[in-house]
C-alpha cells in the first residue's frame, strides 16, 4: 500500500509537526502555484520511499496563513524540515528529486541534534 503525504492544518499542526518525534518534512503549497504542482508528485514519491524514516506533511498556505507566517514562508513551494519539533532546514522553490533525497539522507544520518 502506498504511503501518502498527510494534509496538515492549523488544528493538527502541533500534533503532526511540533510534537512529532524524528524527522518531519512539510510542503508549504497552494492550489494556484504552478511550481507547487510540479513538486507535488515528488513529495508523494518521497513519502513512499522514506516511509518509516520520515513523516511527510502538506500545508496549504492559503488555508493556513498563520503557520506559513510563523515560519516566514514568503515563496512557495517551500519545503521545511523539522526534527523533534524544531525547524532544521528549508528549501525554497521547485527542486529536482535528487536534491530532496540528498538533504533527507543527510538529515537522517545526523541523528538527533545535540544543541
- Examine the residue annotation and report whether 51 is marked as an active-site residue of this protein: no
Going by C-beta distance under 8 Å and a sequence separation of 6 or more, which residues neighbour residue 92? Answer: 75, 77, 78, 79
- Examine the residue annotation and report whether 49 is marked as an active-site residue of this protein: no
Q: Which of 5, 17, 33, 57 is catalytic?
A: 33
Reduce the DSSP state of residue 9 to 3 states and report it.
Answer: coil
Q: Grid coordinates in use for 48?
A: 513512499
Please report where in the chains the cell 541523528 appears, as a residue.
Answer: 111
Q: Which of 17, 23, 36, 80 is catalytic?
A: 36
Q: In terms of DSSP bridges, do strands 23-29 and 78-83 run parallel, antiparallel, or are they unpaired?
A: antiparallel
Q: Supply the residues annotated as catalytic.
A: 33, 36
Amino acid at each position: 500500500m502506498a504511503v501518502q503525504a498527510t494534509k496538515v492544518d492549523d488544528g493538527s499542526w502541533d500534533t503532526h509537526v511540533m510534537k512529532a518525534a524524528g524527522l518531519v518534512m512539510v510542503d508549504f503549497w497552494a492550489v494556484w502555484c504552478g511550481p507547487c504542482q510540479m513538486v507535488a508528485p515528488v513529495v508523494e514519491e518521497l513519502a513512499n520511499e522514506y516511509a518509516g524514516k520520515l513523516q511527510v506533511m502538506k500545508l496549504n498556505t492559503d488555508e493556513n496563513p498563520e503557520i506559513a507566517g510563523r515560519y516566514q514562508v514568503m515563496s512557495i513551494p517551500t519545503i521545511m524540515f523539522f526534527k523533534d519539533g524544531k525547524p532544521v532546514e528549508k528549501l525554497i522553490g521547485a527542486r529536482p528529486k535528487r536534491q530532496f533525497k540528498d538533504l533527507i539522507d543527510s538529515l537522517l544520518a545526523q541523528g538527533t541534534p545535540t544543541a
